[in-house]
Amino acid sequence: MKKSFLTFWAMLISLLAMAQTQTSRITGKVVDVFSNKSVANVRVQLLPAGIEAISNENGEFSLKDVPYGKYNIQYSGEGLVTVTRNIQVSSPDITLGSIPLSQSTGDIATIADDVVPSITTDDEGSGQDNSGDNNISGVLSASRDVYVNTASFTFGQARFRTRGYDADNYVVMINGIPMNELDNNEVYWSNWGGLNDMFRFRDNTYGLEAANYAFGEIGGASNTDATAIRQRKQFRASYAFSNRSYQHRVMATYSSGILKKGWAFSASASYRGANRSYIPGTFYDSWAYFLGASKKIGDKHVISLTAFGVPTRRGKSSPAVQEMYDIAGTNFYNPVWGYQEGKVRNSRVFKSHQPTFIFSHEYKIDKTSTLNTAVAYQFGETSNSGLNWYNAPNPNPDYYRNLPSNQADSGLAAQIYDLYSSSEAARQMNWAGFYEINNNSQDTIYNANGVDGNTVTGKRSRYVVEERVVRSNEFSFNTYYNKVFAKKVEFTAGLNYRFNRAQNFKRINDLLGGDFFVDLNQFAELAFRDSVTNQNNLATPNRILKEGDMYGYNYFYTHHKAGAWAQAKVNLKKVDFFVSAALNFTAYWRTGMWQTGLFPNDSKGRSETFTFLNPAVKGGVTYKINGRNYIYANGSFLTRAPYIFNVFLSPNTRNQTAANVVNEQIGGVEGGYVLNTPKVKLKATGYWTRFLNGTETKRYWHDQYNSNVNQTMTNIDREYFGGEFGVEGNIYKGFGMNAVVGIGKGRYIDRPNVTVTSDNTAEILLDNETVYFKNFYAAAGPQWANTVGIFYNSPKFWFVRLNASWFDWIYVEANPIRRTATAVEGLEQGSDQYDAIINQERLPGQFIMDIFGGYSWRLNNTFKKMKGGSKYINFTLSINNLLNNTKFRTNGFEQLRFDFTDRNPNKFANKYFYNYGINAFINVTYRM
């Protein structure tokens, strides 16, 4: 015993002795964080040991004879931000590589981000505002597919994306005319919300199935036939009450059915409104109108004219960091509104009215062939309002600098916490403050409007409400010919063309008590102190702006898209198969209307024309085991032109585009099994899809550069694969159950490149850096959704369904900058700080319960003396989130700004969207 005891101690002592005498040499190189140039005379110290070195002209330094141990390594230098890191010294030679340091802005720091408003397009997440109860899932509802039907119905509230795909992968058509926006292929439901009654006849295809009216997109397609002739004779009037995005909905619809002489008419109108929607500060104010007329000409022709529009105003919400949700005491805190004279005023108002006119012609050539043609014209304006400010404090109540977590002193942090948590007005916008500042802001503008000697004096608004407007005109044409041969082969071929010219500009909506605003580019003003570079329009410098005036930027996007496609479907006894092919041609360009001071040679006039030729093929086979069981497999490969939104780096200021503008390649396969019996319906599918060589641009405000900054990722490769399972069965008499699972992973499978440019200069801030994104999640929202439900359909015309759902695998959208070598330079792999920077936050899984029920009351049964056909009153009630789970974050995103100075990922913390708590929708419809 004693011997081993002594031996142990001897070994220990000798180990310690070794450790004490072991020293290391640490080398590294100090560089500037953005230019990568070496920095000399940087003092590198090991604390508390006190060993130090100074970097030479090449930025190199070497710390010698450093005893093993744990230290803080500190880098300091004149005009540089001092950086301190942990370092574990346990090997004889340590190479730290390049250590990026940033310029100190110190106590004379630039003041820009306060003075200049931030652009919030991507921080908000495009389209991700809590609007409408019919969101993306609208395309898929009313499908007979057991998976799709339930997925859209139950999973929609959790912002579940089928297969994890982004919203640009579904084509939505009305009367054969695609409704997807040309510049990013997304669908804006606000253009026809409130017209549900007219859009009931929908032909949906999901995934890679063959459609009859178009080649389709990788996620699916739908076409709604809203022609008057298709509607049967009816009259409906309904009233709905809800606490979601709108409170009241009134809708009335009339269809004549086919009348004498072959006419048919339809009309529908609705109003949806809420003084306050579910989230505080939001409101809803939307009308909708629809008129349709059809005429049958002989036996073979039907012509229809359909017109509809949805003039809408909506107050939006914006996601916030968790710290603000906690301070406000609610996960529905909304920073974009404030009180004005006791009333709620929202600064982010969405307005839209884009009337659509479709003329369609159905030609039944003979019993087996038809020709459908549609021509459409759509025009109108969509705008989003927001605050703009000039040389004034940042008005956002959740501005990161004002948050308690950003204060150096804990006492002051506590005081701010107390103020914000106790006073609602303090954490919302201070409208009265804007009016007061504008009122006191007497200023004189010399050479106003570019006229020498024209001096304008008055109250110069420091805060205004502006609207960012898109005014567009679109013309579409689509024709397709369908012929069935011998009842077995269906052949379709089509031609389509779309032309869109959209003007992008902004205008002053409200001067907030001031007399005028001035058209100047604040980003440029802070960088270049002359009176030419800061002009937005050199033709009229120093322009005095009144309410309604256009300013800031003014350019057109012109888009042409033409396509041809053909498809053959063969139905044999045991096997169905199809093959389709398409060829699309896209051309687009930007035309700037104003010559800006920042880019006098590149802003006005037409950019280069981009053209793309995109082939696509699709095919599939279904094997019918018997009438009830079949298995199928489909595959598709296509290329897709990059969206104009991603190609122009800074369309507000210039014609410059991403360096490499290439087509995206998309390929996918799916396969599955379907069981269709009267009692049980089952579908099980597996899918695998890849998107290669994608391009994406995000925009945000960067206060170190006093400028709006564009982050363009290229060579994006993504893979989505997973499975879908749905089963629904009648158990006994009216009872049934359903269960649906959608599970998948959407990830980056390789390392894209990112280039960051500034609106201020043509300088490249980060040039083609590799983003170490492999296996990070690209899909937003829950990637694993499950629901189990029971339902009862009573023979007495009422039904009820109860569903319990679980959503999981929710990852926040990742910021590529955080996964570059620059972001983690000098940090030890696996250290806490390194991990905090690169890890993609996963949000906890959540449980939701929903109930949906209805009753159909045939009035004739009660009032037996009623004449003239059946009259019904339908009641439906749906209550979502029965258990009032207010902790459900359906999505989140990392802010695009990253704190390079201290590498603290929580300085610009993640922002989250919370699902509504318990919410209900009650509808009463009278129909006859």
Partner 1 sequence: MKSIASKISALLMLVVTLGSTGCIQDRFDQPPVNGSDPNITPTHSIADIKAMYSGTSVEFTDSMIISGIVNADDKSGNFYKVITMQDQSAGIAIRVDGNSLFNNYPVGRRIYIKLQGLVMGEYNGLIQLGGARTSGSTTEVEPIPQPLLDNFIIKGSLNNPLTPQVVTIGQLNNSMQNMLIRLDSVQFSAGDTNKTYANAVTQQSVNLTVQNCTQQSVILRNSGYADFAADKVPDGRGSLTAIYSVFGTDKQFLIRNTDDVQFTGPRCGSSGAPGTLIAIRDLRAMYTGSATAAPAGRKIKGTVISDRTANNLVSQNVIIQDATGGITVRFGGSHSLSLGQEVEIPLDGGTLTLYAQLMQLENMSASNVTVLGVNPVTPRVATIQQINDSISKWESTLVRINNATVTPGPTFGSSSGNQSMNDGTGSITLYTRAAATFASGAVPAGPATITGVVGRFNSTRQIQMRNASDVQ
Which residues lie near partner 1 (CB under 8 A)?
107-111, 114-115, 235, 237, 239, 248, 250-254, 256, 259, 265, 267, 269-271, 273-275, 283-285, 287, 313, 315, 340-341, 343-346, 349, 391-394, 401-402, 407-409, 411-412, 415-416, 419-420, 426, 431-433, 435-437, 439-441, 462, 513, 529
Query: Toward partner 1, which CB reaches closer, 250 or 489?
Result: 250
The distance of closest approach from Cβ of residue 521 to partner 1 in the complex, given in angstroms and rounded to an integer, is 16
Query: Toward partner 1, which CB reaches closer, 267 or 375?
Result: 267
The distance of closest approach from Cβ of residue 512 to partner 1 in the complex, given in angstroms and rounded to an integer, is 8
CB 63 within 8 A of CB 92: no
Helix (H) or strand (E) holding 837: helix 832-838
Query: Toward partner 1, which CB reaches closer, 332 or 687?
Result: 332
CA of 678: how far to CAs of 152, 461, 681, 798, in Å? 22, 69, 7, 20
Query: Toward partner 1, which CB reaches closer, 327 or 812?
Result: 327
The distance of closest approach from Cβ of residue 413 to partner 1 in the complex, given in angstroms and rounded to an integer, is 8
Convert 458-512 into a string of H (helix), E (strand) and C (coil).
EEECCEEEEEEEEEEEEEEEEEEEEEEECCCEEEEEEEEEEEEEEEEEEEEEECC
Query: Toward partner 1, which CB reaches closer, 400 or 632?
Result: 400
**Locus of tokens 């529905």:** 332
| Residue 356: Cβ-neighbour burial (10 angstroms; 0-12, 13-18, 19+) | buried
The distance of closest approach from Cβ of residue 432 to partner 1 in the complex, given in angstroms and rounded to an integer, is 4
The distance of closest approach from Cβ of residue 442 to partner 1 in the complex, given in angstroms and rounded to an integer, is 9
The distance of closest approach from Cβ of residue 447 to partner 1 in the complex, given in angstroms and rounded to an integer, is 17
Query: Toward partner 1, which CB reaches closer, 190 or 370?
Result: 190
| Residue 446: Cβ-neighbour burial (10 angstroms; 0-12, 13-18, 19+) | exposed
Instruction: State the CB neighbour count (10 A cutoff) for residue 828.
Output: 15
CB 46 within 8 A of CB 73: yes
Query: Toward partner 1, which CB reaches closer, 156 or 404?
Result: 404
The distance of closest approach from Cβ of residue 282 to partner 1 in the complex, given in angstroms and rounded to an integer, is 10
The distance of closest approach from Cβ of residue 139 to partner 1 in the complex, given in angstroms and rounded to an integer, is 26
Q: Which of 709, 698, 668 is nearest to 685 (CA)?
A: 668
DSSP string, 366-428: ETTEEEEEEEEEEEEEEEEEEEEESSS----TT-GGGSGGG-SSHHHHHHHHHHHHH-TGGGS
Query: Toward partner 1, which CB reaches closer, 285 or 381?
Result: 285
Hey, what are 925's tokens?
Answer: 């419809």
The distance of closest approach from Cβ of residue 244 to partner 1 in the complex, given in angstroms and rounded to an integer, is 16
Q: Nearest 5°: CA angle at 647, between 508 and 355?
A: 50
Query: Toward partner 1, which CB reaches closer, 269 or 375?
Result: 269
Query: Toward partner 1, which CB reaches closer, 292 or 789?
Result: 292
The distance of closest approach from Cβ of residue 750 to partner 1 in the complex, given in angstroms and rounded to an integer, is 42
For 809-821, letters b (16+ CB in 10 Å) and e give bbbbbbbbbbbbe
CB 307 within 8 A of CB 292: yes
CA of 730: how far to CAs of 153, 375, 385, 627, 674, in Å? 19, 45, 51, 19, 17
Q: Which of 531, 645, 551 is nearest to 593 (CA)?
A: 551
Query: Toward partner 1, which CB reaches closer, 199 or 776?
Result: 199
The distance of closest approach from Cβ of residue 338 to partner 1 in the complex, given in angstroms and rounded to an integer, is 11
CA of 612: how far to CAs of 562, 665, 809, in Å? 11, 13, 36
The distance of closest approach from Cβ of residue 230 to partner 1 in the complex, given in angstroms and rounded to an integer, is 17
Decide: helix, strand or coil at residue 653.
Answer: coil
Helix (H) or strand (E) holding 841: none
E strands present in 519-549: 544-545
Query: Toward partner 1, which CB reaches closer, 261 or 865?
Result: 261
